[in-house]
Amino acid sequence: MRIDYKEPNLNYIAANIDKMLVPTLLFFLAKKHSHGYELIQKINEADFCEVEADPATIYRNLRRMEEDGLIISKWETGLTGPARRCYELTSSGHEALNFCVELINNKVEKMQIFLQKHQSSAI
């Protein structure tokens, strides 16, 4: 059964939870603020995201998450050298990460019930 949430950003997260991209971005940004380049490399190394981390997909999602108020971005500049747009989690972003954990837990529970039933019927 599909649940409709009041907040559009939660609906978006719930609809795309299987791909694990938004939870993964929220997870890494909760640990440390990062720029897109670094996030792409981290996602590629992580073994829990179903989406191929191509730059177009990642930057589009980051922009959407910023529009939804889950993250904020600012240019990370020193006095000299290169500057990159850096992303940081907001309090709504932390709440969204907790929401993702809840959704994933529910899914894991259901999958475990399925596996148990399958196992017991096979005996």
Partner 1 sequence: MTQKLKILHAGALKKPMFQFAKLFKNRYQDLQIEIEAHGSRVCARQVKNGKQVDIIALADTHIFEDILMPQYVNKYYIFANDQIVLAYDYFSKNEADINQENWLDILLSPEVVFGRSDEVLDPCGCRTLLVWQLAEKYYQKTGLQNKLKSKCVDNKIYPKSYDAALSVSEGRLDYAFIYLCVANRFGLKYITLPEKINLSNPAYLDYYCQASVEVQGEEPNEVDIITGAPIEFAIAVTKNAENCEIAKAFLELVLSKKGQLILEDCGLIPY
Residues that bind partner 1 (CB under 8 A): 35-38, 40-41, 43-44, 53-56, 59, 63, 75, 77-85
Point out which residues pair with 35 in neighbouring strands. Answer: 86
**Shortest CB 87 distance to partner 1, Å:** 10
Which residue number, 59 or 94, has a Cβ lying nearer to partner 1? 59
**Shortest CB 100 distance to partner 1, Å:** 22
**Shortest CB 57 distance to partner 1, Å:** 10
Is there a contact between 62 and 68 (Cβ–Cβ < 8 Å)? no
Report the residue count for the chain. 123
Q: Tokens standing for 115? A: 């596996």
**Shortest CB 2 distance to partner 1, Å:** 31
Q: Tokens standing for 13? A: 């997260």
User: Cα separation of 60 and 85, whole Å?
Assistant: 14
Which residue number, 1 or 56, has a Cβ lying nearer to partner 1? 56
Which residue number, 32 or 110, has a Cβ lying nearer to partner 1? 32
Is there a contact between 71 and 39 (Cβ–Cβ < 8 Å)? no
Which residue number, 75 or 122, has a Cβ lying nearer to partner 1? 75
Is there a contact between 14 and 5 (Cβ–Cβ < 8 Å)? yes
